[in-house]
Amino acid sequence: MWQIVYVAHDKIEADKIEDKLLANGFMIEVEKLSDDSYQIKSLASEAEEVYEFLNENF
């Protein structure tokens, strides 16, 4: 099951976050909401760890 961990405000930001998370071994899915909004999702079982990673690195 997927959980939303971040909403990016453009494709560049979404790609940057996705690349960092994937490089650190997280399973990530990105869903486009509109032209300037993307949901970053992680597995629910990894969500807490992803939140911590995002807070430390972004």
Q: pLDDT digit string (tens) for 8-54?
A: 999 999 999 999 999 999 999 999 999 999 999 999 999 999 999 99
List the structure tokens of 14. Answer: 């979404």
Find out whether 58 and 25 touch, Cβ atoms under 8 Å.
no
Closest residue by Cα to residue 57 from 9, 8, 21, 5: 21
Question: Which CATH number does the domain housing residue 6 bear?
Answer: 3.30.70.1530
pTM of the model as a whole: 0.91
* 58 pLDDT more than 90: no
Range of the domain at 14: 2-57
Q: Report how many domains make up the chain.
A: 1
Distance CA 12, CA 9 (A): 9
Residue 6: strand pairing partners: 40
DSSP state of 7: E
